[in-house]
Structure 1
Amino acid sequence: MKKLVLYFLLLSAPFAVRAQFDRLKDSVVQVYGVIMTADSLKAIPAVSIVVKGRNQGTFSNDQGVFSIVVLKGDQLEFTSVGYKPVLYTVKQDSGNQISLIQLMVVDAQYLPATVIAARPTREQFERDFVNTKVPDDGIEIARQNNDAAKRRILSRSLPASSGEAASTYLRQSAQKYYYQGQAPPQNIFNPLAWADFIQAWKRGDFRNN
Structure 2
Amino acid sequence: MPAPNGTPVKVTRTPYVLLLPLLVALVLFSQPVQAQRKAPVVQFSGIVMAADDSAAVLPGVHIYVPKAGRGTVSNPLGYFSMPVLVGDSVVISYTGYQKQHYKIPNNIGDAITVIIELSPDTAYLPEITIFPYPTEQLFKQAILAMELPKEEEDIMKRNMDATLLALMMENMEMDGSENYKRFSQQQIMDSHNRYFIRTNPFFNPLNWAKFIQSIKRGEYSRDKK
TM-score scaled by length of structure 2? 0.40
Higher helix share: 1
- Looking at CA atoms only, which structure, 1 or 2, has the larger radius of gyration? 1
